[in-house]
Amino acid sequence: MKIVCIGGGHGLSHMLSAIRPHCAELTAIVATTDNGGSTGKLRNSQGGVALGDIRRCCLQLADDDSLVHKVFHHRFEGGELDGHSLGNLTLLGLSQQTNSATQAIAWFNAMLGNSETILPMSDEPTDLLAVLPNGEKIIGECQIDSLTQLPDYVTLSQNVNAAPGAVEAIHNADLILIGPGSLITSVMPAMLVEDIAQAINMTSACRVFIENIAKETSVIKSLDLKPVDWLESMLGYSFCDLSISHDALSEIVSHFDDVIKTPNQQHDIEQLSTVFGEILKMPLILEADKSSRTDQAVSML
């Protein structure tokens, strides 16, 4: 089965680990609009796309015990490199050598021994832009995360093309998984890229949206709509055939009482793997009529 995962943040990297045992061909399309931490500093000084979530996805798929994993996980302390990850710096160097974030990621992934495909949403830099009800424009994920009121709409600061291979992967997929993660800063960015949006609309793959498992701390916590409904109103198109709510996830794994969240994880990889192991056994979902969407996946189990 060919599976494409779309998103960003910790949610996407954990999703990749969870879904990898259940498919033969796995592709991730990663949001590249982050402007905080080491990633933000590198973007300010060197330009280019955000590299942090990409690094996280690649390292999540690598052998935790390998020397190369430990090396690229290293984060410097003190001096001009304070706070920077060696993995981020390596990806930056490869990007400057190849003039292509997509090619740089492919090389980095190969160095880690990963067979999965990790793609940026675009090779071209852009930022997330939110417009408030009073018309004020807020640019940058960090700034948007600190909002106290929901924006009227969210877009990209400039239009960009999808990364090479992203559209083809979506068209060829059997299943597309979107999320989990923060609605605005993790889930939305890639789906605001016009080429990707069109591919999501046209693909024959079953499109599954997984709501955020970790509690939102951003302005989204004040949302009074279902996340999938709000997201579709912001995007202006229907992006999923099936929406799996947090309650549905809990029900699906309710009989797995021995699943314990690792303290350093915002999303439970074992739990996610269990969920998709159960869902992928069910041809009914994968052959779902695109005109009927439900957020109560548990009722099918």
Is the pLDDT assigned to residue 293 strictly greater than 50?
A: no
Greater confidence (109 vs 66) lies with 109
Here the tokens at position 4 are 């494409």
SS3 content of the chain, % helix, strand, coil (to 5): 45, 15, 40
HEC string of 227-240 equals: HHHHHHHHHCCCCC
* Integer CA distances (angstroms), 257 to 17, 249, 251, 271, 281, in order: 20, 13, 11, 10, 21
Long-range contacts at 283-291 (CB < 8 A, ≥ 24 apart): 285/206, 285/208, 285/242, 286/174, 286/175, 286/206, 287/206, 288/206, 288/241, 288/242, 289/241, 290/241
With beta carbons less than 8 A apart as the criterion, state whether 300 and 47 touch: no
Q: Which residue, 25, 15, 11, is CA-closest to 174?
A: 25
Q: Among the listed ranges 37-46, 131-140, 265-274, which one has the minimum average pLDDT value?
A: 265-274
Question: What value, to the nearest 5°, has the Cα angle with vertex 2 and ends 253 and 99?
Answer: 115
Is the pLDDT assigned to residue 296 strictly greater than 50?
A: no
With beta carbons less than 8 A apart as the criterion, state whether 3 and 177 touch: yes
* pLDDT tens, position by position, 209-248: 998 876 777 888 888 888 899 999 999 999 999 888 877 7
Q: In the beta sheet, which residues pair with residue 242?
A: 208
Sorted by where each starts, the structural domains of the chain and their CATH numbers stand as 2-34+115-300 (3.40.50.10680)
**pTM score of the predicted model:** 0.88
- Residue 282: CB atoms within 10 A of its CB come to 13
State the pLDDT at residue 282: 54
Per DSSP, 45 falls in state H
Band (pLDDT 50/70/90 cuts) for residue 281 is low
* pLDDT tens, position by position, 247-260: 776 665 554 444 43
